[in-house]
Chain A
Amino acid sequence: MATAFSAPKFAAQPFTTISPTSQHKPLKIPTAASPFLGSTRKLLRLSSSSQLNLRRRSSGSVFAVSDVVKEKKPTPIPSLLITKEEGLELYEDMVLGRSFEDMCAQMYYRGKMFGFVHLYNGQEAVSTGFIKLLKQQDSVVSTYRDHVHALSKGVPARAVMSELFGKTTGCCRGQGGSMHMFSSEHNLIGGFAFIGEGIPVATGAAFTSKYKREVLKEADCDHVTLAFFGDGTCNNGQFFECLNMAALWKLPIVFVVENNLWAIGMSHLRATSDPQIYKKGPAFGMPGVHVDGMDVLKVREVAKEAIARARRGEGPTLVECETYRFRGHSLADPDELRDPTEKAHYAARDPITALKKYLIENNLSGEAELKAIDKKIDELLEDAVEFADESPLPPRSQLLENVFADPKGFGIGPDGRYRCEDPKFTQGTAHV
């Protein structure tokens, strides 16, 4: 694979030994000698070898290797990992994600959307790499950086854009906003504003899948849930509690860590005692895998195995994707703390450029075809913006709808009737 740089090792390395053949410069920070982490001060120099180095395992350390990777041997001729159709699908999905986020930035600065908007530029490989392997009935749980997860899962760009504009045609009727994308049709279970609070919900969705198979006897129910979250979340209690429960009950879930090294302005290294997140998987009894999150093909390989594992009923996997966000934490973030050299380093590893290069070099596609896809996405987004612009704002009558699934929950008014029967209720002017 003549694509982006390889990610560092899968297996855990003891901190004290760094092989002399390594081309990694040890970091200045004493606690982490692991080579892959972006330092606040020092740029990481990755190995230019395109092979995953699996030989570097020392005895006695924790093995955090995915099963499929164990068997992989370095081959002299890179075999193609994807077909042309798959390649184009991946390319289109990533371009959609990127262009959509760029459009969001534009619209935000034009005053069409408000509040906190968190863009996903740079991390597309993770979303595309994982979600494109799922079926419709599989569930995805995300965080506030959820636009691209929604798009990858199949939510139409129109619905997402309208939701961002706060229009009633949005996927959540304008009631959720940027941080709360939901789609029952596509099984996107959010969209959560507080970090970590989606992970238990994802665990619950996985529990339902297991319940359906074992209690309700729907033997073919093998729905898998993916939980996406960031490096900051991995220091949160809910993360650990759910790792425990998922491994305990062998729930069909994959925990995907999008480690972009920064939680707003807090570097992952300054916040975490052991920054190698994938090592936390084996502590709970599940495999922990690290993968280069800027390379969609690598992500896809790991994802295949992790999802297959979950489908077979073997339990959860923790996948740490090393990735990077090209923009600030949100559109309100001036992004002053990050080192420009670090940004440049990752910009050079842009997943879309990398996939394009792969497709062309392996004769899976040509410039013209890819440009046509670019154009198609542009038109799709123009249409989405137009649709969102023209959609109506939610009327007042929508205010009190959907608070309860059963609106009797608003109670009985002084006149003896349920409040939801009051005509002012449906107009949204009733005071509940």
Chain B
Amino acid sequence: MAAIFQGVGAAATLSSSPSNSFVPKKFLTSPRRSFSVRKVPSYVVVRSDGSVNFDLNSKSRRAQQLVANAVATKADSSAASSSSNPGHELLLFEALREGLEEEMERDPRVCVMGEDVGHYGGSYKVTKDLAKKFGDLRVLDTPIAENSFTGMGIGAAMTGLRPVVEGMNMGFLLLAFNQISNNCGMLHYTSGGQFTIPIVIRGPGGVGRQLGAEHSQRLESYFQSIPGIQMVACSTPYNAKGLMKAAIRSENPVILFEHVLLYNLKERIPDEDYICNLEEAEMVRPGEHVTILTYSRMRYHVMQAAKTLVNKGYDPEVIDIRSLKPFDLYTIGNSVKKTHRVLIVEECMRTGGIGASLTAAITENFNDYLDAPIMCLSSQDVPTPYAGTLEEWTVVQPAQIVTAVEQLCR
């Protein structure tokens, strides 16, 4: 486990380690690399022997802090450097809050509903202090009734408001599946276009740090078949804020997937107003040899692996697909046409996951451009175990990614 490291010098040690476990100590004093990396102080995370040593400077049960900005040179973050003012640095959950706050200031119809979003400030602090600023009705603390308060959000959206419904953990939204599938996705159509549902449903999901099976679920695969909704996954503070704002402004119902382990990513983002397009993918690292498609937390595993691969002489192109439904087949297609090899790395389950759909979509549209079958690395079809070692082996680790690329590029 412990895919999150301090210092990006992990690559050097990675290539030398034979197994999937990582040796912790070397990372603490890693040298700077070509990718812009910031040392984030006072977070010690890594372990390979199951022992935990972390600095809980957050009081909630949030998992360990994640490290450096593993975003590569190009892509949207270039907007940050190209603007004349220096921007400001913040953590991903702060970026989400900033986006939410700006939209609430901009449009008085935007409101938040969820458990502990008000006085508690959100279990991951995404709505911290918003209730003090906007009042208890605009940042509504709901009772524990996911199905009903999600339905309430849908009813409010149909009658003119723009609610943001927070699932304390994405897994809890399984209780709201009735409302999300039957009402959120369908009512615009069944009403013949009379009612729009500009709702945003967001929350953290994904495999965390030994949170157990039920708190480690990836719901994107369950929701992806629902017609009428859009799904996006954020992975950096920049795209978190951008996607949050775009989702709120969108007239469609959008589900925004965040990840428990990414909330403490730090990045410098622009001061000015910006949004990220909901339907577009993000080019993280251009390359020539292989297209690696990923999203959310696996982006960091991929970037970790990319360093190793670069050392080995490969040139992977890494794309963060961001838009889980619909897929941005243009960016993906262009990449496939260039590299002719595709590796999908995701945290979803193997069966029926996003990777499975993506494989089908690419095969359908770009089969002629492929030199090798698409490889898809997903989590094991296993309820996430509590034990640290087992949990580590359920999700895809950078070493597996390296092996997969080597196999693909043979």
Q: Does A183 contact B (CB under 8 A)?
A: yes
Q: Does B313 contact A (CB under 8 A)?
A: no
Docked Cα-Cα span, A238 to B331, in Å, equals 43
Q: Does B178 contact A (CB under 8 A)?
A: yes
Q: Does B228 contact A (CB under 8 A)?
A: yes
Q: Would you call B160 and A241 a contact (CB within 8 A)?
A: no
Given contacts A238-B147, A405-B197, A405-B251, contact A413 B329 (CB under 8 A): yes
Interface bits B309-330 vs A (CB < 8 Å: 1, else 0): 0000000000000010111111
Q: Would you call A216 and B190 a contact (CB within 8 A)?
A: no
Q: How far is the CB of B233 from chain A (nearest CB, A)?
A: 15
Choose the segment among A24-32, A54-62, A192-200 that binds chain B (4+ C-beta atoms closer than 8 Å): A192-200
Q: Would you call A182 and B194 a contact (CB within 8 A)?
A: yes
Q: Does B383 contact A (CB under 8 A)?
A: no
Interface bits B148-162 vs A (CB < 8 Å: 1, else 0): 111111111111110
Instruction: For A223, give the chain B residue with the smallest CB separation.
Output: B159
- Range, interface on chain B: 35 or more
Find residues 172-212 in chain B having any chain A CB closer than 8 Å to their own CB: 178-179, 182-183, 187-198
Q: Would you call A404 and B188 a contact (CB within 8 A)?
A: yes
Find residues 17-41 in chain B having any chain A CB closer than 8 Å to their own CB: none
Choose the segment among A44-52, A114-122, A202-210 that binds chain B (4+ C-beta atoms closer than 8 Å): A202-210
Q: Would you call B145 and A182 a contact (CB within 8 A)?
A: no
Neighbouring A residues of B138 by C-beta, 8 Å: 211, 215
Q: Does B280 contact A (CB under 8 A)?
A: yes
- Range, interface on chain A: 35 or more
Q: Would you call B183 and A197 a contact (CB within 8 A)?
A: yes
Q: Report which residue of B152, B328, B330, B365 has the largest number of chain A beta carbons within 10 angstroms of its beta carbon.
A: B152
Q: How far is the CB of B336 from chain A (nearest CB, A)?
A: 9
Q: Does B108 contact A (CB under 8 A)?
A: yes
Docked Cα-Cα span, A214 to B156, in Å, equals 15
Docked Cα-Cα span, A403 to B252, in Å, equals 9
Among B179, B182, B188, B280, the residue within 8 A (CB) of A405 is B188
Q: Does B121 contact A (CB under 8 A)?
A: no
Q: Would you call A406 and B329 a contact (CB within 8 A)?
A: no
- Would you mind naming 23 contact pairs between A and B with Cβ atoms under 8 Å apart? A139-B159, A172-B191, A174-B192, A189-B195, A190-B190, A197-B178, A197-B182, A201-B152, A201-B155, A208-B160, A208-B161, A209-B159, A211-B138, A215-B111, A215-B135, A241-B145, A244-B143, A404-B251, A405-B193, A405-B252, A409-B230, A412-B329, A414-B330
Given A404-B252, A405-B193, 16 new contacts (CB under 8 A): A172-B194, A173-B193, A197-B179, A200-B147, A200-B152, A204-B155, A205-B158, A206-B155, A207-B155, A237-B147, A241-B143, A241-B148, A244-B143, A404-B188, A412-B280, A414-B365
Given contacts A241-B143, A404-B228, A416-B330, contact A200 B179 (CB under 8 A): yes
Instruction: For A408, give the chain B residue with the smallest CB separation.
Output: B279
Q: Interface on A for B, CB 8 Å cutoff?
A: 139, 141, 170-176, 180, 182-184, 189-194, 197, 199-212, 214-216, 237-238, 241-242, 244-245, 248, 401-406, 408-416, 418-419, 432
Neighbouring A residues of B188 by C-beta, 8 Å: 402-405
Q: How far is the CB of A131 from chain B (nearest CB, A)?
A: 17
Q: How far is the CB of A194 from chain B (nearest CB, A)?
A: 6
Q: Would you call A200 and B151 a contact (CB within 8 A)?
A: yes
Neighbouring A residues of B357 by C-beta, 8 Å: none
Neighbouring B residues of A415 by C-beta, 8 Å: 330
Q: Would you call A406 and B152 a contact (CB within 8 A)?
A: no
Given contacts A208-B159, A237-B147, A248-B143, contact A215 B326 (CB under 8 A): no
Q: How far is the CB of A242 from chain B (nearest CB, A)?
A: 5
Closest 7 CB pairs of A and B: A204-B155, A200-B151, A411-B326, A173-B192, A182-B191, A201-B155, A241-B148
Q: Would you call A204 and B152 a contact (CB within 8 A)?
A: yes
Q: How far is the CB of B177 from chain A (nearest CB, A)?
A: 11
Q: Would you call B137 and A245 a contact (CB within 8 A)?
A: no
Q: Does B352 contact A (CB under 8 A)?
A: no
Among A173, A190, A210, A403, the residue within 8 A (CB) of B227 is A403
Q: How far is the CB of B15 from chain A (nearest CB, A)?
A: 36
Given contacts A172-B194, A418-B279, contact A205 B187 (CB under 8 A): no
